[in-house]
Amino acid sequence: MKLNKIKPHVKAIQKTKRLGRGMGSGKGKTCGKGHKGQKARSGYSKKLHFEGGQMPKQRRLPKTGFVSLKEPNKKTIRLFELNKIDVNIININSLEKNKLIKKKKKFVKIICKGKIEKTIKIQGIKVTKGVKKQIEENGGQVI
């Protein structure tokens, strides 16, 4: 059996009804659309989820779903911004004191943008591979 040889069952196939081919066809004149009105016109399409003016189901039901708690508390810091800090050991508290992050930020990540000019230790902060490499080349540590 090959995919190009597969065919649907003979009784599953139905010919489409040809509309507007004379009165004897059963679907002539108005072609099954009735007389006048919006639905009889060309270009008509009913709006998705429209329920005839009734409050639609998606508006009746309350909003549910996943909301990440990390996203509003996340902050990225560029590597060259760490040159402004006088402390050698950098953690979330030292970043708050130097006003690089606000107190509410709990998830901080340092990204590789610019260069670091001093030896530092980083504690409890996520870093990218490039940042880790630069810090260790300068004689620092990532803990």
Give the range among 10-14, 48-52, 67-71, 81-85 with minimum mean pLDDT.
67-71
For the chain, counts of helices (H) and of strands (E): 3, 6
The H-or-E segment that residue 134 falls in is: helix 129-137
80, two tokens: 């060259």
Neighbours of 19 (CB within 10 A): 14
Taking only the tens place, the pLDDT of each residue in 24-43 is 988 999 999 999 999 999 99
Mean local confidence (pLDDT), 91-101: 87
Give the range among 9-18, 25-34, 69-78, 127-136 with minimum mean pLDDT.
69-78
| Residue 61 predicted with pLDDT over 90 | yes
| pLDDT score, position 108 | 86
Q: Report whether 135 contacts 141 (CB < 8 A).
A: yes
What's the CATH number for 71-142?
3.100.10.10
Grouping H, G, I as helix, E, B as strand and the rest as coil, residue 116 is coil
Q: Report whether 105 contacts 72 (CB < 8 A).
A: no
Q: Where are the domains of the chain?
A: 71-142
